[in-house]
Each structure stands twice: as C-alpha cells, then as structure tokens.
C-alpha cells in the first residue's frame, strides 16, 4: 500500500552539522586521596558544541570512567559547575568554538572551595548547609494570609528579580576569596538567597534575618573582590546582594558588627573630610581597647612608611561635591523599605 505523503515521517537533514576537533586537558581525581593527574583527550564535536558536549564526547567515545555532573544542558539546573582554565563556569553554557579557533587547549578542573569526590564532581554538602543556615523560606507568619494572592507591585517584585535567577550551581562559591581563608563564611550563594527573602515584601522576618546575617561569617566578612559577580553564569550578582543586605542592616540599626562599624567609618570619614582618615579606622572599628593591642602592628606599618600623619589628616580643599554625591546616593539607594510597601496593598 502506498501511503500519501510518506516522506513526512523522517525529517531530512536532521543530523547535518559541521564538526570540529577539540582537545581538553582534564584534571582527574581518583577520589582515593591520590594526587590529581592531567589527561588530554581529543574528540570530534559539532561546531556549536559546549564544554559539556565535549565532555560527553569524551565519556561516550574515549573514557567511560570520567565523572562529572550534568542534567538540563541549558543553564538552569545548576549541575555542571566546574573550572575551566582556573575559573568557574557552567560547562553547558561555555561554547568551545572560540577556543578551538584560537588554538587554545583548555584545562578543566573541579570547582574550588568544595571537597573533591572524583574527577570534576565536588561534594556540595557544605554549600547546601550554608543555604539551609539562612532560613531559606518565606516567613509571613506574623500576619494573616490573604484569601487570594499577596499584592506585590511590579516595582516591589523587581527588588529581588536578580536574586531569583540563582540556580545554586556554586560557581560564585568556587571563586570566593573570603571562603578560601574562612571556610565558615556563609558565602555569596547563601547570602544572595538570604537577600531574596530580606528584599521580599511578603516576608515579615527581616530584622531577625539581618541580625543573624550580621554576625560572624556573615555579610561583613565579604572582601568585596567581586569574583562572584564576575563568575556568576546567571547575572545574579551576589556581591550586590551582599551590599544590599549591608544597607538593610544599617537601616535596621544593626551596626554592632566590626564589619558594619568599619563601613560606617568609611562613610563618615569621607563625608567629613573628603578623604578616608585611616587612623580613625582601627579604633572606631574594633574599639579603643582593641586598637591599643594593634599598636605594635601600627608601628610596624609606620616604619614601613604606610601610615599617614595622624596629626594632620588629609582633607579635601572643598568636599561640597562629595557631600552632594553622598546625598544623591542616599536618595537613589533602592530602599527595600519602599517596602513600607507591605502596608501599601499587600494582602488586599
């Protein structure tokens, strides 16, 4: 029997693609405590291939023992965070063609700041523990829920739109400088998650959240290196979230942490004199008694010529411009307390 339009069954040209050769150097960890070895693999992949496609080609055709995580291959599940040439990337979002064209062989290794299990697979347990530590769920238990939805204006919703993009891949944590020296630092992912609730007009636990986040290993322990912003594959900008948490903590009067005091001196000192008075910084951050204990260190610095004259601090000739800028910033800072917000219709 001849069937009309039988040619419709199979899509012609479905598998026609241009191919290229790509070489990967992969740091391989056996997971038994032995040292990592670097292995090179050359595979043929489509010109549109990502790093993940290249790894799949290695695993399917060259070496089935290679271990890495993957699932969605569209940058939303957060499984395939790893390092390429020393910086964290999502393998599925990293096109290989530019490297092939440039004749550059990339080196792939597991993410940093997390224990390695095998090859490119890291133990995410510490990552998730920190997320759990920021009470990662909405708490609106202080008020009765509305019958339908909470009213949230698009402007209010926009306060947390960047943080809502986070896929928990760990790329920011991998590159976090603070975490390298303080493994207990909450870190950029957990703090961005925290801001997702602090900035949510539906959440009623802001003050307690900020209190907890202002303590040791919290928002003030970030070194502001911005590597998290740079490496985030989703545009979450965790450092910006940490800055917003700091601003909110100030607004709540939560300034007892040394980090908060430190930031405060920066602001007040530049406001008054147009310059940072570095000699004020230490006593005002850690208190007069703490400052005395730091005198030997200060003398050391002074001998090395690193201390400005404390008796005649820098002062700008005219710091009116600084003051104008300061006021402008004050006016523009997105006050999450536009949040008064919650009163303006929430639950209507």
Strands (E), the chain: 19-28, 37-46, 81-84, 87-90, 106-109, 116-118, 121-122
Query: What three-state secondary structure class fits 184?
Result: coil
DSSP state letter for 347: T
The nearer residue to another protein, 63 or 184, going by C-beta atoms, is: 63
Let me know if 24 is exposed, middle or buried by CB neighbors in 10 A (0-12, 13-18, 19+): buried
Q: With contact defined as beta carbons under 8 Å apart, do 101 and 49 qualify? A: no
To another protein, the closest distance from the beta carbon of 281 in angstroms equals 39
To another protein, the closest distance from the beta carbon of 95 in angstroms equals 7
The nearer residue to another protein, 192 or 254, going by C-beta atoms, is: 192
In degrees, to the nearest 5, what angle opens at C-alpha 163 toward C-alphas 170 and 338?
Answer: 155
The nearer residue to another protein, 165 or 302, going by C-beta atoms, is: 165
For the beta carbon of residue 212, count every other beta carbon within 10 angstroms. Answer: 16
User: CB under 8 Å to 14, separation ≥6 — which residues?
Assistant: none
DSSP state letter for 333: S
To another protein, the closest distance from the beta carbon of 124 in angstroms equals 7
The nearer residue to another protein, 133 or 281, going by C-beta atoms, is: 133
The nearer residue to another protein, 151 or 207, going by C-beta atoms, is: 151
To another protein, the closest distance from the beta carbon of 324 in angstroms equals 32
Tell me how long the chain is. Answer: 348
To another protein, the closest distance from the beta carbon of 179 in angstroms equals 20
To another protein, the closest distance from the beta carbon of 173 in angstroms equals 15
User: CB under 8 Å to 17, separation ≥6 — which residues?
Assistant: 46, 47, 48
The nearer residue to another protein, 127 or 185, going by C-beta atoms, is: 127
The nearer residue to another protein, 150 or 220, going by C-beta atoms, is: 150
Which tokens hold the place of 77? 């599940």
To another protein, the closest distance from the beta carbon of 207 in angstroms equals 18
Q: Nearest to residue 257, comparing CAs of 214, 207, 195?
A: 214
């Amino acid at each position: 029997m001849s069937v009309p339009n039988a040619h419709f069954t199979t899509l012609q040209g479905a598998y026609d693609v241009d191919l290229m050769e790509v070489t990967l150097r992969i740091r391989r960890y056996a997971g038994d405590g032995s040292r990592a070895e670097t292995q090179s693999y050359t595979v043929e992949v489509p010109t549109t291939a990502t790093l993940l496609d290249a790894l799949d080609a290695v695993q399917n055709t060259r070496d089935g023992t290679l271990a890495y995580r993957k699932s969605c291959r569209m940058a939303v599940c957060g499984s395939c965070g790893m390092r390429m040439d020393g910086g964290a990337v999502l393998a599925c979002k990293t096109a290989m063609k530019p490297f092939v064209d440039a004749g550059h062989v990339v080196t792939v290794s597991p993410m940093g700041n997390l224990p390695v299990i095998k090859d490119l697979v890291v133990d995410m347990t510490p990552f998730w523990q920190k997320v759990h530590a920021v009470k990662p769920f909405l708490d609106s238990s202080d008020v009765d829920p509305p019958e339908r939805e909470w009213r949230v204006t698009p402007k209010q919703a926009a306060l947390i739109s960047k943080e809502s993009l986070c896929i928990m891949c760990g790329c920011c944590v991998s590159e976090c400088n603070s975490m390298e020296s303080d493994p207990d630092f909450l870190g950029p992912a957990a703090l961005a998650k925290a801001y997702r609730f602090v900035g949510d007009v539906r959440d009623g636990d802001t003050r307690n959240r900020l209190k907890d986040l202002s303590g040791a290993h919290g928002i003030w322990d970030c070194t502001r290196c911005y590597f998290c912003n740079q490496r985030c594959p989703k545009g979450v900008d965790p450092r910006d979230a940490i800055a917003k948490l700091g601003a909110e903590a100030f607004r709540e009067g939560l300034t007892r942490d040394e980090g908060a005091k430190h930031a405060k001196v920066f602001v007040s000192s530049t406001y008054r004199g147009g310059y940072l008075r570095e000699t004020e910084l230490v006593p005002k951050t850690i208190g007069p008694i703490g400052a005395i204990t730091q005198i030997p260190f200060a003398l050391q610095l002074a001998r090395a010529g690193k201390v400005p004259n404390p008796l005649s601090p820098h002062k700008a000739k005219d710091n009116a411009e600084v003051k104008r800028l300061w006021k402008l910033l004050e006016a523009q800072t997105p006050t999450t307390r536009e949040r008064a917000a919650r009163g303006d219709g929430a639950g209507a």
